[in-house]
Structure formats: C-alpha cells, structure tokens
Amino acid sequence: MASRKPGLAFGFDLPFAEQIEFFRQKINLPTAAWDDITKSAHDRSWVVAGATKADLLDDLRQAVDKAISTGTTLRTFRKDFRAIVAKHGWTGWTGEGTPEGFAWRTRVIYETNLRTSYAAGRWAQLNDPRLARILPYWRYVHVDGTLNPRPLHQRWGNMRLTLPRDHPFWQTHFPPNGWGCRCRVTAVTGPKDGDATAPPEGWDAIDPRTGEQVGIGKGWGYAPGASMGDEIARLVKEKAAKLPERLASDFLSSVAARPAAATAMTPALREQIRRNMEGPAGDGLSAGVARNAALHVVREGIRDGAEHLVAFDAVTGRVIERTTSGAYGEVVIPPKTRALLDDKNARTILHHNHPDSYSLSGKDLDKLAYPGGWKVVAHGHDGSVYSAERIVGMARHIQRAHSAANAAVIENSRLFRVETEGIRAHLVNRALAEAGVIKYDFTLSPSLQAMVDSAPATYDRLVADAVAAIRREIAK
C-alpha cells in the first residue's frame, strides 16, 4: 500500500486539550461561500462552504473532530468525507467531479481546521499569566516545506523576529497566515544577539489585492483563538491547578519554549548521557562519537530551548551535519542530511534533543521510512533517551502503524481514565516495537518511570490494545 512521503522535519504531532476544546466549543453555522464569515468569527463557528444542512454539517464536524482529537490522517479523513457526501447526497460542492478537486477540497478542510485549532490552543497556552511572566517574548518560526515558500513568511523567520507577546504584530500575524501556512510561534525569555526586535518597515501596510496587511492571505489577518480571551486560557489554568506543584510547573513549561527542569548541563546529567550512550541507544557509533553528539544537542538545547540535530553516516562514522531551526518542537532536515536519507546505500543515524523530554514522535519515526534512514535518537533534557531503529521490510508500515497506535492510546486512555501526558509517545513506540514495526530502546527519567510504575497493568493494557490496532492496520 502506498504511503505519503515522509516528513522532512522533526516535531510533535499530538493533539492537546486546548486545541480539542477550541474546536468543540464552535457552533454549527450553515454557509454558502467560504467568505460568508471572516476572521475571528471562525473562532466560534463551524462552517464548511456550501454545507447548509444541519445533519450534513454535524457529520462533517464529527469527522474533523476525530482528526483533531485522535490524530487520524488525511487519508482517513478523505474516506470519512466520501462516505458523508454519499450519505447526504451532497452535490454542487467546490471541487466535486474530479480527483484533483476532491483531493484539494478535502486537504483544505482537513489542514485548515487542524492548523487553526492548533494555533488557537497555542494562543491560550502562551498567554497564560504564569508563562507570560517567565517567557514574555514570542518568536516567529517559519516552517514551510513547499518548493515556493512565501517570501515574507520566510523573511520573518530568517530574521528571527522576536517581539513582546502584546505587540500588535501578533494580533494579525499570529500564524497560520494563509492557506497551507505551517509557520509557528515559540515563547522565549527575550531577544538574543541577531534577533530582530521590530517588524520590517511597512509590515502593517494594506495589500489592495487582499484587503489584509502585506504577507497575509485574504481572510487570515487575525490570531486564531484570540477572541476567546480567558475562556480557553482558563483550561490551561484548570489543568495545571489539578497537578502537583512540580508537575504543574513542567506542564506550563512544556507548552512554551523550554522546560523548567533543566537549566544547565550538570555533572549528573552529563554522566547519565554517558551511560545512555554506552547502551543500545548509542549502538552503531563508537561510544565517544555518540556521547559527543548527545552532549552537543542537549547542551545547546538547554542553552536556547530549541531542538538541535547531529546527523551521521554510520557506514563511515562521519558527521554529516549539525543544525538547528532555532525552534522548540521542530528542526528542519537540511540538504546534506536529506540526500543521505534518500541514499539506499547509506545508514543514517540522527541524534536530536527533545526539550520536553518526551519520546519520539511520528515525524521523528518518518525518517526511518526513507531508503537511507536507519536510526533516530531523541535525548531528553532530564536524562531520558529514546532510540528507534529500522527493521528491514517494515519501513513502509511505519506511518500507518504509528497513526493507528496513537489513536488507540488516546481513545483507551480516556476509557481507562489514566493520564498519558508525557508518556503517550513512549507507549505508542512500545506498541510499535511489540508489533515488530521498529526496534525501540529507551531510558526513562525517574519522574516518568514513576508515572509508568504507578499503574503498570493499565499502561500495559494500553500498549497491548495499540499493538492489536497496528496489526489490524497492517493487515488491510
């Protein structure tokens, strides 16, 4: 079965409570055209252009809700969309009649709702007063994998535009800033050397073609979720209030740019990294080479709160590249490493850090689906380490298997009423390993290990159910 092209960036791809809550508070609103409502009105309204029947709107809404809350793929959403259209006999919708039109329309509905709900959830999290006191500045991060990136979006990212969170720029330029825009915002303590501390001249000029400020797509000149004010931000506070003080601090920090726990490369952390690299996670490189890579990404990540990457060719043992996108949650794969991943004769090993100290995400595992992808290692700032290695013959299943396992863990964690915040990705990767899709080795920090040990039978059940979901998906 054909799969989508693996991603060219590392990053988190799990839904979070504020994102889901933002979407679910919307009211169904029948509309004839996409611009019947504009800008912040989308914060309160669920619309699909041309969908005017209440039951049709509701079924479409449930399909998008499933995509947001369980992480289902565009492929799954397209199946749901096709079934809903047939069920309601909906005709005349934009894109109907050709495979290209169907692909375009379903992608627009799927990606727009996922990205705006994500942005709204982030707006709520980053505006929490306790976070704002610690991290009062926001930085624009350009993330655009297209061949033709938007020049102004790219410029704002390249200049590392870093502004106070209450700067008027964010009211109109908080991404996404157009159809398909994947840019993000990360919170930081303040500008660093080389950061731009003011928008470029003319940033607020109006483009007569769109009626928006320059660089912003028509209808996108607003901050998703900003009109919700304290309503969604309340969810962040309520969630933190239910946690012990230490866990609350970790939670609030994990949604911003850097964790509170690790502020320096301590001797204890250095020693833990050394031990980690003497185990399976460092296999494939000499202990010294692996240790130096691990120390580099963690040290630099603690320094600036961003993800860093060191890429190796295990055939030669040579370092290919060291890089960072300067962003929390993602690091874009640079050209030399991309070429190595595309080389079937290579054995690419990627070491990177996770400031939140969570396990490998689906985007991380994507790298094993490349011809030259062999091993991906994530180093937590708390001394944890997670390593996934390719199993010959299973690479083509990784993406679909991960999606199935992730959805199963999310669904069953609600059923069993067990907390998976911080270990969900770990449980998913355990399931992938038990199903024979990847080889997975790990060392958990004491706090994460204590969480797993608090309900081992329940977490084992989550993993077993996820393994079953993986096997069903692979058998299709």
Statement to judge: residues 173 and 117 lie in one domain: yes
Indicate whether 276 and 382 sit together in one domain. Answer: yes
For the beta carbon of residue 149, count every other beta carbon within 10 angstroms. Answer: 17
Q: Where is pLDDT greater, at 284 or 120?
A: 120
Asked if residue 239 has pLDDT above 70, the reply is no
pLDDT at 248 over 60: no
**pLDDT class of 253 with cuts at 50, 70, 90:** very low
pLDDT tens for residues 6-33? Answer: 455 544 344 456 677 677 666 666 656 6
Res. 370: pLDDT tops 70: yes
Tell me: pLDDT of 469 over 60.
yes
Residue 409: what are its φ and ψ, rounded to 5°?
A: -65, -45
The pLDDT value recorded for residue 43 is: 63
* Distance from the first to the final alpha carbon of the chain: 9
Q: How large is the C-alpha radius of gyration of the chain? A: 22
If one compares 68 and 335, the residue with the highest pLDDT of the two is: 335
Mean pLDDT of 343-352: 93
Helix locations, 174-266, DSSP H: 230-241, 245-254
| % helix, strand, coil for the chain, step of 5 | 45, 15, 40
pLDDT at 203: 94
- pLDDT band of residue 160 (cuts 50, 70, 90) is very high
pLDDT at 241: 61
The pLDDT, as a whole number, for residue 375 is: 95
Q: Are 24 and 152 members of one domain?
A: yes
Higher pLDDT, 243 or 104: 104
| 225 and 276 belong to one structural domain | no
Residue 19: how many CB atoms within 10 A of its CB? 24
Number of domains in the chain: 2
Flag whether 3 is in a domain. Answer: no
By percentage, how much of the chain surpasses pLDDT 90?
37
- Structure tokens that stand for 470 in this block: 């993986």
Is residue 455 situated within a structural domain?
A: yes
* DSSP-assigned beta bridge partners for residue 323: 309
In a domain, 262, yes or no: no
Q: How confident is the model at residue 47 (pLDDT cuts 50, 70, 90)?
A: low
Lowest mean pLDDT among 101-105, 129-133, 391-395: 129-133
The residue ranking higher by pLDDT, 362 or 133, is 362
**Which of 230, 248, 279 marks a domain boundary?**
230
Mean pLDDT throughout 138-157?
82
One domain, residues 313 and 360: yes
Q: Which position has the higher pLDDT, 333 or 466?
A: 466
pLDDT of residue 467: 97
Whole-number pLDDT of residue 4 = 39
Q: How far apart are CA 421 and CA 118, in angstroms?
A: 17
% residues pLDDT > 70 (the chain): 79
If one compares 474 and 68, the residue with the highest pLDDT of the two is 474
Does 342 share its domain with 431?
A: yes
> Is residue 161 in a domain?
yes
Domain shared by 290 and 437, yes or no: yes
Dump pLDDT digits (tens) for 307-329. 899 999 888 888 899 998 776 66
Helix or strand holding residue 457 (H, E): helix 456-475
253 assigned to some structural domain: no
DSSP bridge pairs for 164: 137
Question: Looking at 210, 230, 250, which one is the last position of a domain?
Answer: 230
What digits encode the pLDDT tens for the residues 65-104? 888 777 778 888 999 999 999 998 988 888 888 999 999 8
Q: 208, 230, 252 — which closes off a domain?
A: 230
Q: Are residues 300 and 349 in the same domain?
A: yes
In this structure, the answer to whether residues 226 and 281 fall within a common structural domain is: no
In a domain, 236, yes or no: no
- Averaged pLDDT for residues 183-194: 89
**Least confident segment among 132-146, 220-234, 262-276:** 220-234
309 and 214, same structural domain?
Answer: no
* pLDDT value at 5 more than 90: no
- Whether 73 maps to a domain, the answer reads yes
Confidence of residue 288 (pLDDT cuts 50, 70, 90): confident
209 and 340 together in one domain: no
For residues 285 and 366, give the distance between their C-alpha atoms in angstroms, rounded to a whole number: 21
d(CA 247, CA 232): 20
Residue 372: is its pLDDT beyond 90? Answer: yes
Provide the domain limits for residue 150.
9-230
pLDDT tens track for 410-441: 888 878 878 787 899 999 999 999 999 999 99
Based on the domain organization, do 134 and 223 belong to the same domain? yes
Q: What is the reported pLDDT for 255?
A: 43
Average model confidence (pLDDT) across the chain:
82
Mean pLDDT, to the nearest integer, of 143-161? 82
- How many CA atoms lie within 13 Å of 470's alpha carbon, on the beta-carbon side? 28
Domain assignment present for residue 68? The answer is yes
